[in-house]
Structure 1
Amino acid sequence: MQFAQRVSNLEISGIRKLFEAAGPDSINLGLGQPDFDTPAHIKEAAIQAIQEGRTGYTPNLGIPELRQALSRKFERENGLSYAPSEIIVTAGASEALHIAMQAIINAGDRVLFSDPGFVSYGALAELAGGVPSPVPLDDHLNIDLDATFEAMDGARAIVLNSPANPTGVVETEETIRGIVEYADDQGVIVISDEVYEHFIYGATHYSAGRYGENVITINAASKTYAMTGWRVGSLAAPQEIIDECLKVHQYILACATSISQYAALAAYTGDQRVVTAMRDEYHARRDLLASGLKRMGFEFPLPEGAFYLFVPMDQDLIESIIQAGVIIVPGPAFGENGQGYARFSYAASRDMLNAALTRIQKLI
């Protein structure tokens, strides 16, 4: 049987392979999934929506009240001016990234993204018929502006991710502004993946859309409100981009799940102290895991955002740690330049992190 070449060329995500293969006694520090339950008021809003029969199709863009709430959120938290008509509610950030690529990428177009970087960017570019063009980070795991500017010549799009997965790096305003402005000069569209924006420890988040009109802003309730399984995200952009993205969204999904949309409405309009509490706990977990690994002799920059450590270590040790029942993700899952690293997720309880450190210490 023959299949589409653009699909056959892809590999299943290395992260998901490890997650699916994890044994019952494993400590899973591989998946970027919050271990917090979705806050009660969000679940209650979903139950109420079900009881009120809000279970039919919604407008393709999403329910108006959620898009209005997102518009206010972007203005209040990000300094961005998106009208409700310039926002599409999607099935998580994953669908938002997919429809953005499908709408703007033609066959052979180059799509830039960081290497190491999130596993979806190159795959989605290839599915859209584009050419994945990874750009190496600098020695501190930050975006290398010179290398990025050089690679941007003739490119169609660049994906920005700050705070970044897998590195946890939070890019400076100078870097974000520089990329957006240079991309605008070169006719390159910026896709800004900002799903970890609220999990920052001492640094400041800068939304790319503040610095130009050539930006597609991707976000989601998934990480912010511990709603990964609800599958609700958003894509915001100038109207001419939205009009094209909406065509793709209509034909692959029609609309995001109605119940999830009402739950997300409660999330964005409800008590935001739940987000602060999760951020503070992630901060403590980062310090716990980082200090434990550093006591064993590992050296790495302390990440300022997301909930990952990207730790230099050789492949043999990575395999030994996994065999010992601590699931971590080998760096090459995030690109060629991830060789010699492993990603640890600290979106797990302190007890689990301490247990993982104990197992690793025995190996060391």
Structure 2
Amino acid sequence: MTRASASPAEPRSAAPAFPGPLPAALAATSEPPVMEARRWIEGKSFPAERPLLNLSQAAPVDPPPEGLRRAIAEAALNDPQAHLYGPVLGLPALREDVAARWSRDYSGEIRPEDVAVTAGCNQAFCAMLATLAGPGDAILLPVPWYFNHKMWCDMMGIEARPLPCDADLNPDLAAAEARMDGVTAIVLITPNNPTGAEYPAGLVEAFAALARRHGAALMLDETYRDFDSRDAAPHALFSDPEWRETLVHLYSFSKAYRLTGHRVGLAIAHPARLAQAEKFLDSVQICAGQLGQIAALHGLRHLDDFVTGQRDEILARRAVVRDSFRQALPDWELMGCGAYFAYIRHPFAEDAETLCKALVDEQSLLILPGTMFCPQGDPLGPQSFRVAFANADADGLRDALARLADFSAGRARR
């Protein structure tokens, strides 16, 4: 049975007093949720018969395949340019290969000058948002939202306007229409983090049309596109010759090629927008790491079969969760399940964060509470959990469901 081990917890001591005034926007920004969850397991030991199952973070824990590691090592040893600054918007060969691959996959026309390589997808989001919104502007974020998107908005003085989702956890188009005043961008993630929902193509295209009518952008984060259960392209936005006027596409190489530590992501957008984003990138990191970019290029050219195998495995794990959930947890609700995530509703009066901490102590299981993905006061937050299941195999997932069932039975007996 494959079990996700706990990442090393950072040393934690009493927080020192901040030496001077702290900007209000930063002070009001929430703590990083994954780091907070790690502190729940800090210093704790777990019984041998029930080791820790860490399903809190959506990141592969296995190393890249050997061929990719060799490509990185060979570049590190033999390519002097791999240790220098590169072009701010990325290696030309990588931009060219991305443009060709995405044009094929989406039946559209994407040119190398439409592509910017970034130090991870979070940086792509931050850089592109800098071209779309500033203090006093608003963007729409479907709820539950990805917490780092919300945190960046808070730090930048941008209003993250909550957009409700329907029972299938798809963003509500009519509600979005009613909330567009002052909105400069709509942000969608599909397959979604944290819910796993795969947004229907027609819905994504309708949101693009909504953004266009209001002079806004659609920022479409497709970090998990390699694990979408649909065989066809998830949308037809790139087939529109005018896509550059509205669409900003984001992606991460971290998941498909297990390159989380190398930090390689990308944005695809109008070249004029990328030219403005270049100011941001040059001021923050100058360029994505060369070795990570070389690895991503190797992956695009040589690892299609590996990615297909990863997708098949993730879809098999999703099937285990879907097929076993109702029998294991008849009083719970599986609200969403796809890509790396299951989003579930618990039946208890206690709030999700209290329950998550109890799960660590009583079941050696670490998952994240919905309060990390919802605005304060939203009733869904205290009622829900995100389970990141990519780092547990089928047996591990059945074990996780069994632990939740044991936890539920124990609560029922109280």
Q: Tell me the TM-score normalized by structure 2.
A: 0.83
Q: Aligned runs of 1:1-364 on 2, under 5 Å?
A: 1-22=20-41, 23=44, 25=46, 26-52=52-78, 53=80, 54-202=82-230, 204=232, 205-206=234-235, 208-211=237-240, 212=243, 213-295=245-327, 296-297=329-330, 298-301=332-335, 303=337, 305-313=338-346, 314=348, 315=351, 317-323=355-361, 324-336=363-375, 337=378, 338-339=380-381, 340-350=383-393, 351-363=395-407, 364=409
Partner Cα separation in structure 1 for residue 152 and residue 107 of structure 2: 28
SS in structure 1 at match of 2:273: helix
Contact 2:202 2:235 in 1 (8 A): no
Contact 1:19 1:31 in 2 (8 A): no
SS in structure 2 at match of 1:192: strand
Partner Cα separation in structure 1 for residue 319 and residue 193 of structure 2: 18
Change (3 A) 1:116 1:319: same
Partner Cα separation in structure 2 for residue 251 and residue 166 of structure 1: 30
SS in structure 2 at match of 1:30: coil
Contact 1:35 1:349 in 2 (8 A): no
Structure with larger Rg: 2
Q: Tell me the TM-score normalized by structure 1.
A: 0.94
Contact 2:55 2:365 in 1 (8 A): yes
Partner Cα separation in structure 2 for residue 306 and residue 124 of structure 1: 24
Residues 269-327 of structure 1 show CA distances to partners (whole Å, capped at 9, x for unaligned) of: 11301111111111121222333332121332453x31111011143644432332111
Partner Cα separation in structure 1 for residue 326 and residue 258 of structure 2: 29
Partner Cα separation in structure 1 for residue 142 and residue 341 of structure 2: 16
Contact 1:101 1:124 in 2 (8 A): no
SS in structure 2 at match of 1:159: strand
The sequence identity of aligned pairs, in percent, is 25
Cα deviation for residue 70 of structure 1 reads 0.9
Contact 2:356 2:366 in 1 (8 A): no
Contact 1:13 1:333 in 2 (8 A): no
Partner Cα separation in structure 2 for residue 287 and residue 126 of structure 1: 36
Residues 10-60 of structure 1 show CA distances to partners (whole Å, capped at 9, x for unaligned) of: 011223311343345421011101244312222111111101122111111
SS in structure 2 at match of 1:60: coil
Cα deviation for residue 165 of structure 1 reads 0.7
Residues 109-135 of structure 1 show CA distances to partners (whole Å, capped at 9, x for unaligned) of: 001110111112222222333111111
Partner Cα separation in structure 2 for residue 77 and residue 302 of structure 1: 26
Contact 2:335 2:345 in 1 (8 A): no
Partner Cα separation in structure 1 for residue 103 and residue 35 of structure 2: 35
Partner Cα separation in structure 1 for residue 266 and residue 111 of structure 2: 13
SS in structure 2 at match of 1:219: strand
Partner Cα separation in structure 1 for residue 110 and residue 101 of structure 2: 10
Cα deviation for residue 169 of structure 1 reads 0.7
Cα deviation for residue 77 of structure 1 reads 1.4
What amino acid maps onto 2:188 in structure 1? L
Cα deviation for residue 210 of structure 1 reads 4.4
Partner Cα separation in structure 2 for residue 93 and residue 149 of structure 1: 27
SS in structure 1 at match of 2:250: strand
Contact 1:122 1:133 in 2 (8 A): no
Residues 191-211 of structure 1 show CA distances to partners (whole Å, capped at 9, x for unaligned) of: 110000111224752265445
Change (3 A) 1:330 1:262: same
Q: Which moved more, 1:330-339 or 1:213-222?
A: 330-339
> Any gaps of 5 or more consecutive residues in structure 2?
1-19, 47-51, 410-414
Residues 159-204 of structure 1 show CA distances to partners (whole Å, capped at 9, x for unaligned) of: 1111101111111121111110111110111111000011122475
SS in structure 2 at match of 1:348: coil
Change (3 A) 1:60 1:289: same
SS in structure 2 at match of 1:358: helix
